[in-house]
Copies of this chain bind each other. A is one copy, B any other.
Amino acid sequence: MGRGKIKIKRIENSTNRQVTFSKRRAGLVKKAREIGVLCDTEVGVVIFSSGGKLYDYCSPRTSLSRILEKYQTNSGKILWGEKHKNLSAEIDRVKKENDNMQIQLRHLKGEDLNSLQHRELIAIEEGLQNGQTNMREKQAVILTLPVAPELI
């Protein structure tokens, strides 16, 4: 539409490309607004220029966020699959750490020892003894302090 017909393919001249981008972006947003009003629909448009700049439009009385939420429930497509996967993976990882520590704690308390090898029991025993040694040293320090331990 204009003085000459153009082929729909990337405009090589970067100046022309930029100019056309501005014009057509405005046009696209205008059309989006119009269909929204005329047909009483919700419309969202997101455009990234090749320079990475962001432009968007969305019908009044709603938000991209809300439109996309609807999009997901309607299409069944998950838009943020990757992000969610990452978060879920982190949860799994942390929970596993958690379980391991839980078990260690139990062992140190003398619980759930039945499934352990002798070697492992020895290690725990050593851990307990180290702990007590350290603890006694600490207590000793406290007892030699000139004030009551409760106030430390």
* Closest Cβ neighbor of A19 among chain B residues: B39
- Contacts A54-B74, A117-B152, A124-B135 given; indicate if A48 touches B35 (C-beta within 8 A): no
Residue of B nearest to A17 (CB): B39
A52 contacts which chain B residues (CB < 8 A)? 74
Within the assembled complex, what's the spacing in Å between the Cα atoms of A84 and B40? 29
- Is A127's beta carbon under 8 Å from chain B? yes
- Bound complex: CA of A134 vs CA of B152, how far in Å? 31
- Between A and B, 12 residue pairs with Cβ closer than 8 Å are A28-B28, A39-B50, A41-B48, A43-B47, A45-B46, A65-B79, A65-B80, A87-B91, A94-B98, A109-B127, A121-B139, A132-B132
